[in-house]
Every structure is written in C-alpha cells, then in structure tokens.
A and B are shown apart, each in its own frame.
Chain A
Amino acid sequence: MIKDNNQLDDLFRSKLDDFEQEPPAYVWSRIQEQQAGNKRRMLFFYLKGAGVAAAVLLAFLLGWQLQQQPENLAPVLTDHQVQSDEKTSQSESSDSATDTKEGTLPIQESTSAEQSSGLAFAESGRGKSAAEKPETIDSNNTIEFQITANADASSHGRQLDTEDSENRKQETQQFQLLRLLHLELDDSFKEQAQLADLRRKQRETATQFNTFEQNQIEENARLLAANRMSESPAGWQLGAMLTPGVSVNQSSQSQNYASSMAIPDSKDKLQVGGGISIEYKTHKRWSVQSGVYYSKLGQTSSNQSFQPEALYSDVVSDGALRGEVAYFNTAVAVKSGEMLMNTAAGVVAIDRLPTNARLSSGFETLAADDGILLTQTEFEQQFEYIEIPLILRYQLIDATFELQVLGGLNTSVLVGNNAYANSEYGNERIGETRDMNAVNYSTSFGFGLGYGLSNKISLHVEPQLRYFMGSLNSNSNVSFKPYTIGVYTGLSYQF
C-alpha cells in the first residue's frame, strides 16, 4: 500500500524517467524546414543590411569626393609652371649670351623678397647665385671665346644653367603661391595659422637642399595623383535611362481560389519605365550603381471567347450564329457592398462596374461566389513601382566600347495600384488589387554594353533579367512572382 508520497514519486520516476519513444519522422523534416527558413530570413536580413550599408557608404564616398575637390588645385599649379618653363626656355634660345643673366636675375629678385619675408630659401638662393657668379663674370669678359665656342657653351653651360634656374623659378613660384594660400588660411583659420607658423619654423631649420627636395617630392606626388586620376576617368557617373521591358507573369494560386478566377492572359505587354542612375567606380574594374527608377508591371485577364455556332449547332438554325463570338463569364463575389474578382495577381476590388458589363446572380454555386460578371471586357491590373537598385558591376572590357557583367538587389516601393477594364468603350478604371505588398525585393542580372561618345558622355544598352524574391501579393492564396526582361537604354555623364 502506498501511503508515502515519496514512494509514489519513486514509482513514477522509475517507470518514466528513462522513457523513450521514437518521434514521428516528420518532426525532423519540420525542424529542417524551419532551420532553412530561419537561414533564409537571416540571409535576407543580411542582404537588406548590406544594401543599407552600401547606400550609406555611397553617400559617404560622395561626400568625401566633394570634400576632396579643393585638391584639384594641384594640376593648375603645374600648368602654370609648365607655361613659365616654356617662357624661360624660349628666351634662353633667343639670346644665349644674356640667358644666364636673365636666368639668375629673377632668382636674385625673388631671393631678396624671400629674405624680407624671413624664409630659409633666401639664404639658399644667395648661396647658389654666389656660386654661379664667377661663371657669369667669365662669360662677360671673354666674349670672343664665347662666340667661337658658342655651340659648346650653349650646349653644356646652358644645360646646367637652365636646369638650375628653371628649378629655382619653379620653387619661387610655388612658394609665392603657397604663401598666398597660407595667407588666406591665416585669415580664415587661426589654428591653421599656428600650424603654418610651425611649418615655417620647420622650413627655417631645414637646409636649402632639403626644402628643395621636399618640394620636388611633393610636386611629383601631386603630378602622380593627377596622372592617376586621368588614368581611371570614371569616379562618378550619372545616367538617365529609359527601360522598355516585358514582364513575364509567373503566378500560382490555391485550387479553391483558381476555380473562380478570371483567366490570365498569356500575352506579355511592353511596359516602359525609366529613371536616373548614379554609379561609382570603386576600382578599375568594379563599380557600384544605385539610382531611382520608375517601373510598371501589369497583369491582364479576360474571358475566353468561343464560337457559339459550334456549341449550339443542334438547336439553332444553320448560319444563324455564324461569325458570332461569345464569352465565358467571370465569377465575382458580392459581399457586404463589395464586388471582388479573383485574378492571377490577386483579388480585384471593383468599385465601378465596367460600362459593358452586367452583374448576374450565380447560376451555379461556385465556392463563395454569388455573382457573375457578364462581359467581354479585358481586365488589366497595373502596378507602378519606384525602384532603388543596388547593382554591382564588373568591367570585362574597358575601352571606348565597354562590356560589363552586373548583378544586384532592387527595392521596389508600390506607388500605383489600379485595375482597368478594356472594352469597346475604352479604358475605364474599375478599382484596385487587394493585398499588394508596399515593399518588394528583386534580384537583377544582366550585361551592360557601353559606347563612349566623348570623354565624358557614353551611350548604354543593358539587357537585364529581374526576378522578384517573394510574391508581390500578400494574399495566401496567390503567389504572384513575375520576372521582367528589360533593356536599360540611356546616356551617362562622367564627372
């Protein structure tokens, strides 16, 4: 007899603690399915995250690029120098005897200017000009010798002299410009002025040779950067695109839904969209593109026509129905003041009866439908989207004619949802499609062909295949996942 609770517990424990039973096989399948679903959700989450991150990065890069604009002063500086260099070489060739004077004179002038401003360069200039003085005096005193040995002197002495004087000219011009810049900075940034002071002190302590070298290195770096920029001209690219495309509708419905559904038309309608694209060339061959596009998708449904002549031949006299075309009718549900029609893309809520249609009560009881729309109208549902793509492009051929392979993700926001009836009375709006998702995601894949019309402007033709990742309609009875084949055509401008 069990009076003690512990005894009862022990007995249950002994029987059931190690109890085992094989669970049904479908439990494991369900676990796997759910795991896969979770993984997909995570992947999708990461994709969305990557999209957002890429958009932020693009915005950052754009901002950075704009910040970098003042750096473009560098090439201007070099242009100026090249011009002055040409001038000096011209004057040198016109008069070889005075060229040394002309060459050294500006330096002496400039060095005196430097002295007054307290720059270390003054000292260096003086040092150099002093070293050259004997040469100058020598050339003045021995004119005859110079005439006879004109060719030699001009080929050897001039070479040395002009090199030196050119360099000095470059230096002084640079310094003058740099000083101007510094002065401007002094006015606008006090901290910068302090920094500039520090720099000046550094220069004072540096030897003449170091300052000279340093400037050369700086200038070379600038030139190299400028060259690099001209090598990969892309950077940013702004484009305007027109996108004629065909959407191939792929849909499936539950059997119950499909039993009272308007017949979807298989003919694919050409829809034209368009938009503005912005592309950033991240590397020589890689680029990232985004933009804003407008696009349209459509689904047409109709009643199938048939020849009544064939159907009623035994009851109607011969020829009475010849050439006549009749239509099957569309089932609609009439509930609490609403008229609903099932289509391949979703339920259309009809708020206005098409002109040529009559509503009849159902002759036969179809599931949940008690109305029949008697019409030979073609129904068309139109969905308008604003799309923001995030496309990665890889350049296969990078020349005047360019070829890219591209792929990416698009976010489509529904901005228009209308249903129309097309009949001999024209195109009438009859309502809209229910349960359309406001935001959808699709993947793109395609090729980009480009032709450079000029340095900055190029023509693009880009066939792209786009596939929606989920149904555009949230109705559980309908899966509406069209894919579109579009040819993005337009012009782009590089800057």
Chain B
Amino acid sequence: MILTNFEWILKDLRQLIIDSVAGKSKAQAQLYQYLAPKMYGVCLRYSKDETEAEDNLQEGFLKVFEKIGSFRHEGSFEGWVRRIMVNAALERYRKNHLMHPVEDMGVFDGPELNEQIISEMSAKDLMKIINELPPRYRMVFNLYVFEGFNHKEIAEEMKISVGTSKSNLARARAILQDKVVKVFGEIANNYSA
C-alpha cells in the first residue's frame, strides 16, 4: 500500500510540486512524507545528534516550502531539496561554531583500517562515528566526500582558508579510522601481512 502510494507520488511529483507552490497542505504533506527519510539521513550526517538533525530537517523543510516556487523543474527536485538541507546545516554551523574555532592539530597516522571491517559495519555505526566528529571536521568531511565540494568551495562556504579545509579533512579521516578501529576492537594490522 505504502509502495503504491510512493509510486504514485513519483509519478506525480511534478503535480505535487505545483500543488505545494499553490500552498496546498495535502501536497506538502505528501512531499514531506516522500523526502523526509532521505533528508533526515542527510541531516543526521551533519549533526552531533538526532535532536540537532530534527531541527535541521525542520528548518530545511520550512525553507523548501517557502522557496518551492523558485524551483524551475529543470534539475532533480531531490537534489534541490538536499542542497537546501546542506545549506541549513551550513547556516547552523556558521551561527554556532564560527566563534569557537577548533584547534588545528597536525595529521597523525592512526591505526590502519581494514576494508573488511568497514564493510561489516552498519550504516548506523558509521553514522554514529561521524556524529562524534568535532563540528568543523564533520562539516568539511561531509562537504568534501558527500557533496563533492573541492577545498576552495569548502573554504568559501565555511569562511576558512583552503589550508585549514585540507588539514581538517585529513584530521577527520584520521579520527574516523581511529574510531572505527576502536569500536570494533580490532587492529587492522592483524590482517596485514
């Protein structure tokens, strides 16, 4: 039943968008229903916990319904919504963390991570590790890895230098490796010969 509902939604996404522009609350609810789980996933990656992700999702969707009239039906609607969510996360980050810069640390070589370990980890475990990253590292890692931003773009969006962006990414990767290893209590070296 739900599946057929979503099939219908996909088919009539364009109509739903048009109705949402007209302010029809039923269309907006359906649009939310269709996109919320994906976008909540995006928001979770940018947040320290679920509460922050919920706030981010809420702000993002309010923005979506406010600006939906400016969507030109040219690119992917989902991509457009996702960009709004990322922008909301960036906005939140700028508001909360710009005044508290994270101490930059040198890149250090953490324990090595086996491919097998990561493939065995669930998405939820990995999400938790990302959540635990310091805000700026998390932001840089997300923008670089998931949104495909280059360091120059990240530096502009986050009002930091390109060098800082690079070092933050390296640091984020190192922490992630370290955490994964710790969580599973296995030393990657064991597998190396």
Interface residues of A (CB under 8 A from B): 1-3, 5, 7-9, 11-13, 15-24, 27-28, 30-32, 34-35, 38
CB–CB B32/A12 < 8 A:
no
CB–CB B176/A31 < 8 A:
no
Residues of B within 8 Å of A28, CB to CB, are: 29, 32, 36
Secondary structure at chain A's binding surface: helix, strand, loop or mixed?
Answer: helix
Q: What are the interface flags for B167-193 relative to A under an 8 Å C-beta threshold, 1 for contact and 0 otherwise?
A: 000100100110000000000100110
CA of A15 to CA of B113 in the docked complex: distance in angstroms?
16
CB–CB A35/B65 < 8 A:
yes
Among listed B11-19, B53-61, B149-157, interface-contacting one? B53-61
CB–CB B191/A1 < 8 A:
yes
CA of A22 to CA of B37 in the docked complex: distance in angstroms?
5
Interface residues of B (CB under 8 A from A): 25, 29, 32, 36-38, 40-41, 44-45, 53-54, 57-58, 61-62, 65, 112-115, 118-119, 121-123, 126-127, 130, 144-146, 170, 173, 176-177, 188, 191-192
- In the complex, what's the smallest C-beta–C-beta distance from A29 to chain B, in angstroms? 10
CA of A421 to CA of B78 in the docked complex: distance in angstroms?
65
CB–CB B62/A21 < 8 A:
no
CA of A1 to CA of B192 in the docked complex: distance in angstroms?
7
- In the complex, what's the smallest C-beta–C-beta distance from A42 to chain B, in angstroms? 11
A-B contact pairs, 7 of them (CB 8 A): A2-B118, A5-B173, A15-B123, A27-B36, A27-B54, A28-B36, A31-B58
CA of A27 to CA of B29 in the docked complex: distance in angstroms?
12
**A2-B114, A23-B36, A28-B29 known, 19 other contacts, Cβ within 8 Å:** A1-B115, A1-B191, A2-B112, A5-B173, A8-B113, A8-B118, A8-B173, A8-B177, A9-B173, A19-B44, A19-B127, A20-B37, A22-B36, A23-B40, A23-B57, A24-B54, A31-B65, A34-B58, A38-B62
Interface centre among A22, A24, A31 (most CB of B within 10 A): A31
Residues of B within 8 Å of A9, CB to CB, are: 144-145, 173
- In the complex, what's the smallest C-beta–C-beta distance from B188 to chain A, in angstroms? 6
Residue of A nearest to B121 (CB): A15
B37, B45, B57, B58: which contacts A16 (Cβ < 8 A)? B45
Using known A-B contacts A1-B115, A16-B146, A27-B54, determine if residue A35 contacts B62 with beta carbons closer than 8 Å.
yes
CA of A12 to CA of B170 in the docked complex: distance in angstroms?
15
Residue of B nearest to A32 (CB): B25
CB–CB B188/A30 < 8 A:
no
Task: Kindly list the 10 A-B residue pairs having the minimum CB-CB distance in the complex, ordered from nearest.
Answer: A19-B41, A20-B37, A23-B40, A9-B145, A11-B118, A2-B113, A15-B123, A20-B41, A19-B123, A21-B40
Residues of B within 8 Å of A20, CB to CB, are: 37-38, 40-41
Residue of B nearest to A17 (CB): B146
CB–CB A22/B112 < 8 A:
no
Residues of A within 8 Å of B61, CB to CB, are: 31
- In the complex, what's the smallest C-beta–C-beta distance from A22 to chain B, in angstroms? 5
- In the complex, what's the smallest C-beta–C-beta distance from B36 to chain A, in angstroms? 5
A8, A15, A31: which contacts B32 (Cβ < 8 A)? A31
Interface centre among B130, B145, B173, B192 (most CB of A within 10 A): B145
CB–CB B36/A15 < 8 A:
no
CA of A13 to CA of B142 in the docked complex: distance in angstroms?
9
Using known A-B contacts A8-B113, A31-B61, determine if residue A22 contacts B40 with beta carbons closer than 8 Å.
yes
CA of A27 to CA of B51 in the docked complex: distance in angstroms?
10
Interface centre among A2, A12, A28 (most CB of B within 10 A): A12
CB–CB A16/B123 < 8 A:
yes
Using known A-B contacts A2-B112, A35-B65, determine if residue A13 contacts B146 with beta carbons closer than 8 Å.
yes
